Amino acid sequence: MLIKSEASKVRVLVTGGAGYIGSHTCVELLNAGFEIVVVDNLSNSKIEAIRRVERITGRQVPFFLADIGDQAEMRRILESFPVDIVVHFAGLKAVGESCEKPLLYYQNNVTGTLILCEEMDRAEVRKMVFSSSATVYGDPHTVPITEDFPLQATNPYGRTKLFIEEILKDLVAADRLKQADEPWTVTLLRYFNPVGAHQSGTIGEDPNGVPNNLMPYITQVAVGKLAKLRIFGGDYPTRDGTGVRDYIHVVDLARAHVKAVEAQLDQEPGQVFTYNLGTGTGYSVLEVVRAFEAQCGITIPCEIVGRRPGDVAECYADPSLARQELGWQAEKGIGDMVRDAWRWQSRNPEGYPD
């Protein structure tokens, strides 16, 4: 286990660090004593998030406005700012948009990651923690889901995650064949449904336009920006007919990244580690709505409509591997998630200022 004084000597490059999960992870990395540097092209975020990370932690955050797919720029950054490990969040994540613009998603997510890896390799930085997703399990045959379940993508976004996982595994395998001295080591973190916000209410999820995901939709109904929640499907084979998901507080998720970084630095290099990050408990859409109403004292008008194409009935993790190997488990419950999501939304009804 790394102690704080050792962490202060470790420099972490956070790609996509201005985004929702990235900004919360920056806070936790800084709190754990790490030095960080952020690269983000701000395609889905605002620089204000970084300023607020600085305010929460009292630390300065070196920031590069750059695209991970800009090879010359990535080379320059890695040369001028040597790092020990990369936590790689940068990517586009909207499932619907990925179906309309698959090339954009393959270019940004897959090509961007290839270029990032090439430049990391050139700079001899061969440690990466990668943001994967439970979407790589497709429509799981049963729940809870363990890491050895069959992988299958159901849309271009999911395929970019699957392809990147395979590319990273190939890098590790190639170094093993070569018996490389400083081989690649990769941690694939498969997130379930990240929600909530930092307890300060100053950083949180700031979706562009009308949210696709449940929690920001609920909070925008609560704040009066949207009229009512449409519940996609009331006829699933679940306890109340609505879809069940494994919601995880974004601060718990961020702390798992700190554990993953610490574990990689402590462990023998040349390995692939894969972990589900969820709570292990599924909540239905109606249960989330009721939890929000109970915690925040606001009624959410709802209407049950048809199923959303591509949705599955139930998806929740078996998170025991992360507990055993990383010593991590989610600590926050659904009450914390809805309360913190609401604190962020009510204090920042328009999200981050430009």
**Nearest distance, CB of residue 235 and ligand NAD, angstroms:** 25
Tell me which residues in 83-102 interact with ligand NAD (CB under 6 A): 89-93
Rule CB under 6 A: is residue 44 a binding residue for ligand NAD?
A: yes
Q: Could you list the beta-strand ranges (E) of 301-345.
A: 302-305, 314-315
**Nearest distance, CB of residue 61 and ligand UD1, angstroms:** 25
The correct pick among 2, 36, 41, 128 for binding ligand NAD (CB under 6 A) is 41
Side chain identity at residue 222, one-letter code: A
Rule CB under 6 A: is residue 317 a binding residue for ligand UD1?
A: no
- Residue 232 binds which of ligand UD1, ligand NAD, none (CB < 5-8 A, kind-dependent): ligand UD1
Q: Which stretch binds ligand UD1 (CB under 6 A): 19-27, 116-124, 226-234, 272-280?
A: 226-234
Closest residue by beta carbon to ligand UD1? 243
Query: Taking CB under 6 A as the rule, which mask of x and - marks residues 278-307 in contact with ligand UD1?
Result: -------x----------------------
SS3 call for 182 = coil
Q: Which stretch binds ligand NAD (CB under 6 A): 12-20, 26-34, 136-144, 260-268?
A: 12-20
Identify whether 157 is a catalytic site residue: yes
CB atoms within 10 A of CB 311: 14
Residue 161 to residue 163: CA distance in whole angstroms: 6
Structure tokens at 325: 């190997």
Side chain identity at residue 66, one-letter code: A
Side chain identity at residue 87, one-letter code: V
Nearer residue to ligand NAD within complex by CB, 270 or 345: 345
Q: Using an 8 Å Cβ cutoff, are 187 and 260 in contact?
A: yes
- DSSP-assigned letters across all residues of 19-76: SHHHHHHHHHHHHTT-EEEEEE--SS--THHHHHHHHHHT----EEE--TT-HHHHHH
Contacts of 106 (CB under 8 A, 6+ apart): 156, 160, 163
Q: Which stretch binds ligand NAD (CB under 6 A): 19-27, 176-184, 217-225, 285-293?
A: 19-27
**Nearest distance, CB of residue 205 and ligand NAD, angstroms:** 7
Q: Using an 8 Å Cβ cutoff, are 203 and 197 in contact?
A: yes
Q: Which stretch binds ligand NAD (CB under 6 A): 37-45, 221-229, 301-309, 328-336?
A: 37-45
Rule CB under 6 A: is residue 257 a binding residue for ligand NAD?
A: no
The strand pair at 185-191 and 229-232 is best described as unpaired
Rule CB under 6 A: is residue 42 a binding residue for ligand NAD?
A: yes
- Residue 256 binds which of ligand UD1, ligand NAD, none (CB < 5-8 A, kind-dependent): none
Contacts of 139 (CB under 8 A, 6+ apart): 152, 154, 312
Q: Using an 8 Å Cβ cutoff, are 21 and 94 in contact?
A: no
Rule CB under 6 A: is residue 232 a binding residue for ligand UD1?
A: yes
**Nearest distance, CB of residue 191 and ligand NAD, angstroms:** 4
Q: Please report, as ranges, the residues that interact with ligand NAD according to CB under 6 A.
A: 15-16, 18-22, 39-45, 67-69, 89-93, 108, 112, 131, 133, 191, 194
